Amino acid sequence: MKKFLSLFMFVMCIAVSANAQSGTTENGLSWEVENRVLTITGNGAINDGEAHWGTNFSTVVIGEGVTSIGANAFKNCFDIKSVFYSGNSSIFDDWTIYDVFNGVAIEDIAFYRSPSSSVLSSIFTGYFKANASNEILWTLLNGVFTAKSDKAITEDGDLEGIADNPRIMISISTISVENATALVSENGALLSSDRSKLLLACNKSGSTVVVPETVKRIGAYAFYASTSISGVKSLSATAPALSNNSFNVNRKIAKLALPNNTPATVDAYSAWSGYFTVVQTGDMPSSGTIGSISWSISNKVLTIAGSGTLAYSATLRESCSYFGVNEVRVESGITEIANNAFYQNAASKYTFNSNAKISGTSGISEDATLNLQLTDKVDLAANVNTFDKVTLNRTFAAGATGTLILPFAATAPSGFKLYKLASYDNKVLTFADNGNAVQANTPYIYKNDSKTSWTPTANDVTLGNFEDMYEYSADGWTMCGVYQSKTEYNKNADEASTLWVYTTSEGKDGNGFGKFKNYAKSVTVSPYRVFFKGTPYNEVYNSSNTVNSYAPERSLSVEFVDMDGTTSITEIIIDKDGNISSAAEDGAYYDLSGRRVENPTTGIYIVNGKKVLVK
């Protein structure tokens, strides 16, 4: 009571607006509109057709002295969201409500009453007829239908369904029971406590109402407004009897699923068939195949596995509807989701464990959540789509080093270092630390000094068509990142280039960095990795003293420079077969150009991969 009155007084005490409007009704009631609140006070009735207040308000406050409201008083007042009434008796009833709010979506309005109740209370109320002397109250509020059953049913009692006003039943999405003496609620239906009568079905879009095999009769108007559900599953081989208007013959339900496909079952349900678009005999399958693709449903989750393109299947669509599928998981190997593959699928969440190409007309709801799990070393598909979350299933362990390129921007842990090509000069290849923020479509060498593993993830990612290869060049060297497995060749000697990869297969240097390996003819690189095109080479002359071919330089120094100026340098020596070894760990001295110094004098040198000052 106090809670409501405080809210009522708050509404009544809104500061006066300069644009306030006011007036008096034919019966002397006062009304005022200010700050989009209409307040009606005084004693008496509002006559039919009185609507002096216009439509520019979202809240209505009706004083306790108002005794009745005539038709069209709030006609076309589409902005109304709340109605407060402080009288002791109801001035609305279920039959006149649509006349009072003619043209307005009543289901979107919250009605408050006091002093009988200080909490939100629905104006939609009615009764079940238990028998001649007992009635069971029901209320409908915000889609929740509650049967307040404190009555017992006698042996000859004939519990009836909803016959008061089926128009408002269309908003029922949930059914519950309070003080359950005569009623129970289960699987989208309201049943008598002995489960012999089905009294009412919900209307939640995409759901399936289950009729237990114990049901002998369907109550009046039980399914009359339940036309948004995907279907009805009956477990009885003997069709329950129908009451007055159990179904609405003018608005068919999607599907009726029967327990078996015997002629007796079909005959038993012949009276029902006219109320459904499809009559399905036999239990719906929970698994199946579509070409080389298999699918299965468990706990309302559809899992799709195999290889190739997922095409539309009526059986799959009907099974998804029948089992109430709300989540879909597409496993690695599915390369494409074809047109209408998910037609009429009500799932709200999709997880793709490979980047299957998704057609724009695949049937996936615009409101569904799309998650993409990219499989490491599996080709990225050209897929113009926006995902709520994208993850590359590749773990960068603490202390690991290698190469990476991502089709989305991401932030690695603090201490995770990303190196980009900076320069090549005098046989020294230099890479500079670029922090821990990964830019999309940018090739990097990484070194994880964060002491924690990392799996790249980003939200709200739009993926589109991508280039065959993303390149970043400096002074004749090029870093090349790929999203599809690629074999690169040295096509002709005139290019005077060589192919390299950054690898730990040859071991690491003293600072935990990998090493560069040369490939004379070709190199194959997996998706989300990087290779290098380099220019250090030796000209090989023939007997005529002209260039006959090119061979990789036999000595190369690689330098990694951190943001704080720390430098790691490794010298690479290539033998005649292209194998590499490192001379940076032998205690020898190298100048800053990577050349070995036999007798170092005063200056800065590289010893075992680190800078040393000789005085």
Residue 18's pLDDT is what? Answer: 44
Residues 302 and 272 in one domain: no
Listed residue (308, 355, 314, 347) closest to 328, CA to CA: 347
Residues 521 and 405 in one domain: yes
Residue 609 inside a domain? The answer is yes
Residue 131's pLDDT is what? Answer: 66
Residues 133 and 107 in one domain: no
Listed residue (157, 279, 163) closest to 219, CA to CA: 163
As a whole number of angstroms, the distance between CA 368 and CA 58 comes to 31
Residue 285's pLDDT is what? Answer: 79
Spell out the residues 6+ positions from residue 138 whose beta carbon is closer than 8 angstroms to its own: 125, 126, 127, 128, 145, 146, 147, 148, 162
Residue 53 inside a domain? The answer is yes
Residue 25's pLDDT is what? Answer: 92
Given 280, 301, 327, the domain boundary residue is 280
Residue 106 inside a domain? The answer is yes
As a whole number of angstroms, the distance between CA 582 and CA 572 comes to 5
Residue 287 inside a domain? The answer is no
Residue 116's pLDDT is what? Answer: 46
As a whole number of angstroms, the distance between CA 64 and CA 61 comes to 10
As a whole number of angstroms, the distance between CA 180 and CA 587 comes to 87
Task: Locate the DSSP E strands across 142-282.
Answer: 144-148, 174-178, 183-186, 189-192, 197-201, 208-211, 217-218, 231-234, 241-242, 253-257, 276-280
Range of the domain at 441: 401-614
Residue 608's pLDDT is what? Answer: 66
Spell out the residues 6+ positions from residue 389 whose beta carbon is closer than 8 angstroms to its own: 371, 372, 457, 458, 459, 461
Listed residue (114, 117, 44, 119) closest to 85, CA to CA: 114
Residue 450 inside a domain? The answer is yes
Q: How many domains are there within the chain?
A: 4
Residue 17's pLDDT is what? Answer: 43
Residues 87 and 30 in one domain: yes
Q: Which positions of the chain have pLDDT values less than 70? A: 1-19, 87-96, 107-108, 112-125, 130-133, 142, 153-168, 261-263, 282-284, 322, 360, 491-497, 536-555, 571-596, 608-611, 613-615
Q: Are 217 and 191 in contact (CB under 8 A)?
A: no
Task: Return the HEC string of 134-149.
Answer: CEEEEEEECCEEEEEC
Residue 317 inside a domain? The answer is yes
Residues 130 and 233 in one domain: yes
Given 113, 138, 162, the domain boundary residue is 113
Residue 4's pLDDT is what? Answer: 38
The pLDDT tens digits for 132-182 are 667 787 777 767 888 887 777 655 556 666 655 566 677 788 998 988 778
Residue for token digits 């678009």? Answer: 277
Listed residue (589, 525, 600) closest to 557, CA to CA: 589
Phi, psi (rounded to 5 degrees) for 7: -65, -40
Residues 55 and 133 in one domain: no
- CA end-to-end span of the chain, whole Å? 90
Residues 405 and 445 in one domain: yes
Listed residue (584, 525, 575, 523) closest to 552, CA to CA: 575
Rounded to whole angstroms, what are the CA distances from 228 to 254, 297, 570? 8, 22, 70
Q: Are 91 and 44 in contact (CB under 8 A)?
A: no
Q: What is the pTM of this model?
A: 0.52
Residues 81 and 130 in one domain: no
Please give the angle made by the CA atoms of 133, 138 and 141, to the nearest 5 degrees. 165
**CA 211: distance to chain centroid?**
32
Q: Are 571 and 610 in contact (CB under 8 A)?
A: no
Given 81, 113, 145, the domain boundary residue is 113
Residues 33 and 88 in one domain: yes
Residue 172 inside a domain? The answer is yes
Cβ burial of 484 (10 Å; 0-12, 13-18, 19+) is middle
Residues 129 and 107 in one domain: no
Residue 288 inside a domain? The answer is no
Residue 5's pLDDT is what? Answer: 40
As a whole number of angstroms, the distance between CA 197 and CA 193 comes to 9
Residue 587's pLDDT is what? Answer: 65
Residues 448 and 589 in one domain: yes
As a whole number of angstroms, the distance between CA 554 and CA 538 comes to 8
The pLDDT tens digits for 569-604 are 776 655 555 455 554 455 666 666 556 677 777 777
Residues 436 and 574 in one domain: yes
